[in-house]
Amino acid sequence: MTVTPVVAAIGDVDRRRIAGTAGLHVTWDELGVDAPGDGRTFRAAFGRGDETFRRLDVASRALVLASEASGLQDLLTAAQREASALIVATTIGCLDADRQFAASLDTEMRDAPIFPYTLPSTCLGEVALRHGLRGISICLSVAPGDADDALGEALRVLVAGEAETAVVATVDVLRGEPPTCAATVVLLAHPRLALPPVAAWPAPGGGAFAAIRRALPA
Amino acid sequence: MNRTTAEVFVAGRGAVTGFGAGRTAFADGVFAGRTAVLPRRRTAQFDVPTTVAAEIPAAAFPTAWPLADQAFHTAALAAHEAFAEAGEPSRRETGLVLASTKADLSGVVGDGDGLGQPWRLGERIARALELGGPVVNVSCACASGLVALAIAARRLAVGECDRMLVLGVDVLHEFVLAGFGSLSALDPGACRPFDRARRGVSLGEGAGALLLTRHRRESLGVVLRGHGGANDACHVTGPDRQGAGLALAVRRALAHAGIAASDVDLVHLHGTATPANDSTEAMGLVSVFAGRTPPAFGTKAQTGHTLGAAGVLETIAAIESLQRGFVPANFGLDDPDVDPALDLVRSPRALPRARTALKVASGFGGIQAAVVLQA
């Protein structure tokens, strides 16, 4: 493959904080809420509201916060959003939502609002609709440690000329009280777009997402 | 943009559906105008708001598999058929793209190991089939199969391996039946896509296998000419009300194939039978084809909606239509209730010179996908 993409934006949510190349770095302690936040978190972090954030499942909240923290919305033109690919990898998938819905199977009222979130493509869709990303959309189910496959797939899409930008993400949620979640969103751009890099494109091999994340404050 | 458009060929096919094991059973059932959407038997104990489903008949397998193994054995059966049709090519240079929504749910509802994670099933299948190439697992809701075909084509086009087995599979489970029921998305009886009386989906189960190759000598005379994708980016469970995302995916697939809309001879529809999906699908397609669309048909009224398997199985149906030279009637369609410029086939129509087919699919998350096939 002959394209070396530019890493143009990064957003990250983990058990301690939200951080991104748009300049945000705020801990959950500072926000006064457990990850990945409640109905007030989006406004508290970004200074504006999000009408539906409150109803999102845990994975979608983490992914939406990470995408917002990356600042990708300020870097892409409307035309670039129209064509931008969106690729998400997850290992655990929707197990948290799955168990929530499964728990309602023996009740009279099945938990209809959570059912769409039992598909990993739904959290991808939450990011797409917030940023108007209308390109190729792919959700990968990956073995532990293989989230970098999403970066590889994005590179193939860029090399094939099917998109000039790709929003690439990984998200996983471990059930618990509170749940443990982690999400990283990376904006990759074809070098001909000349977007300024915020991190080096990592060398092939394991740990690419981790290497990119190191460009953010711990 | 410069696009990689190296040719990708179909070398083998396999299917397991409510019609039984084998592509012939599937295709003969569809093209003879039969349906496998029947009163529920294996899933009859589940309290869900529909009386029907397209269950794989017990006779398709030599034994009754435990729930945890059903997806694996269904997928493996389809895969073996595809390799057999292809003349058993080397598996060392063959990769796998598995398409499934939930794979195995036996540990989510029950005490099995399955946690609804397709990668576990993909690894098991790749090991069992002794595939030496890359393994990719896709979970893009009901668009999974077409997204998987595009992933495979991308890898073959740049020579990452010689062959890719694209395998779509999902089996019926209380979890999924109840989920669609909770959304009021199930037809209480048999579904009727595009009909005025449509009330929702009928679910089915099965597996579809397409063995793709980059070697023309291995081809069955069928080319995966192009693929395209898009996202509605307007709602995560409902469609764009103008079908704009679907239209975008189709235009991208046509551009990737290097053909015009007027070159398409027939369309295999997504056709879930939910009121909104069918009408917006029609709008999207009509916007691509100036005037009337090519003859169009769907098969979910015959196979049920097989979710992760649907894209692959229905691509096989589109190929069959090209090879048989006719388009079957849309089963259960008495009173069309969508844009009349969508040419919904009402009785079998001969198309002896048809060469190019378009297949479309949509999924939760706003995912839209299309592929172009030539035979």
Q: Residue B96: name the closest of B84, B111, B78, B108 by CA.
A: B78
Q: Based on the domain organization, do B58 and B166 belong to the same domain?
A: yes
Q: Does B67 touch chain A (CB under 8 A)?
A: no
> A-chain residues within 8 Å CB-CB of B248?
134
Count of residues for chain A? Answer: 218
Q: Which residues contact B160 (CB under 8 A, 6 or more apart)?
A: B95, B133, B134
Average pLDDT over residues A97-107: 92
Q: Are B262 and B361 contained in the same domain?
A: yes
**B44 class by beta-carbon count within 10 Å (0-12 exposed, 13-18 middle, 19+ buried):** exposed
**pLDDT(B177) > 70:** yes
Among A95, A110, A124, the residue with its CB nearest the CB of B365 is A124
| Structural domain boundaries, residue B71 | 3-218
What single DSSP character describes residue A104? T
A22: tokens are 């748009």
The domain boundary, picked from B194, B218, B242, lies at B218
> Touching check for B11 and chain A: CB below 8 Å?
no
Task: Kindly give the pairing relationship between strand A137-141 and strand A85-90.
Answer: parallel
Question: Mean pLDDT, to the nearest integer, of A85-112?
Answer: 93
Q: Does B250 touch chain A (CB under 8 A)?
A: no
* Total domains present in chain B: 2
What average pLDDT does the segment B143-159 reach? 97
Same domain? B177 vs B267: no
Eight-class DSSP state of B89: -
> Tell me, what's the ipTM?
0.96
- Average pLDDT on A58-69 reads 97
Same domain, B357 and B262: yes
Q: Would the CB atoms of A160 and B235 count as touching at under 8 Å?
A: no
d(CA B358, CA A3): 31
B100-146: pLDDT as tens digits: 999 999 999 988 889 999 999 999 999 999 999 999 999 999 999 99
Q: Which residue of B has its CA nearest to A140?
A: B138
Of the candidates B140, B142, B161, B191, the residue annotated as catalytic is B142
Helix/strand/coil for B362: strand
Q: Which of B185, B218, B251 is the last residue of a domain?
A: B218
B236 and B182 part of one domain: no
Does B243 share its domain with B281? yes
For residues A176-190, give the mean pLDDT: 90
Residues B175 and B284 in one domain: no
Res B153 pLDDT > 90: yes
3-state helix, strand, coil in chain B (%, to 5): 35, 25, 45
Tell me if chain B has a CB within 8 Å of the CB of A159.
yes
CB of B183 within 8 Å of a chain A CB? The answer is: yes
Q: With a threshold of 0.95, does the pTM exceed it? A: yes
Does B55 share its domain with B134?
Answer: yes
pLDDT value of position B64: 85
**Within B214-308, where are the H helices?**
244-257, 275-288, 300-303
Q: Among partner residues A118, A139, A161, which is closest to B4 by beta-carbon distance?
A: A161
Where are the domains positioned within chain A? 6-213
Interface probe, candidates B96, B135, B140, chain A, greatest A C-beta count within 10 A: B140
As given in the structure block, the two tokens for residue B194 are 């595009």
Mean local confidence (pLDDT), B331-360: 97
pLDDT digits (tens, 9 = 90+) for B207-221: 999 999 999 999 999
Give me the CATH topology for the region A6-213: Peroxisomal Thiolase; Chain A, domain 1 (3.40.47)
What's the rounded Cα separation, in Å, for the pair A176 and A96?
9
Tell me whether B256 touches chain A (CB under 8 Å): yes
Q: What are the respective helix, strand and coil percentages of chain A, to the nearest 5?
A: 40, 20, 40
Which of A115-124, B10-19, B235-244, B255-264 has the lowest average pLDDT?
Answer: B235-244
- How far is A167 from chain B, CA to nearest CA, in Å? 13
Q: What is the CATH number of the domain that holds B13?
A: 3.40.47.10
Domain limit, last residue, from B172, B198, B218: B218
- Cα separation, B345 vs B243, in Å, equals 21
Nearest residue on chain A to B146, alpha-carbon basis: A138
Q: How far is CA B332 from the centre of its chain?
A: 19
Closest partner CB to B367 (pick from A123, A137, A162): A137
Q: Which residues in chain A are contacts of B150 at CB distance < 8 A?
A: 136
The dihedral of CA B261, B266, B271, B276: what is its sign? positive
